Amino acid sequence: MAEDVKAHITGVVFQITTKAGDVVATGDPVIVLESMKMEIPVEAPRAGTVREIRVAEGQTVQEGDTVAVLD
């Protein structure tokens, strides 16, 4: 069952640390956001395989935006 990975803050995508097909464990960083000069990882809510990344580095995201999808 697919699950969205959502940004928990508003910020700029600083780094994408995974790609489609990568296997992640609960708590692994999927992307890193930059907000107020701090780097904040957005972590996988559960173990799974990354189905897709929905953002690009440098893109601004809002709190609650889907940044990736896990299978």
Over the stretch 28-67, which tens digit does the pLDDT of each residue have? 999 999 999 999 999 999 999 999 999 999 999 999 999 9
Both structure tokens of 62: 């809002």
> For the domain 3-70, what is the CATH code?
2.40.50.100
- How much is the pLDDT for 15? 97
pLDDT surpassing 90 at residue 1: no
Give me the mean pLDDT over the 15-32 stretch.
Answer: 97
The sheet with strand 3-6 has its strands ordered as 3-6, 66-70, 48-53, 23-24
In the chain, where are the structural domains located?
A: 3-70
- How much is the pLDDT for 56? 97
Pairwise CA distance, residues 23 & 61, whole Å: 24
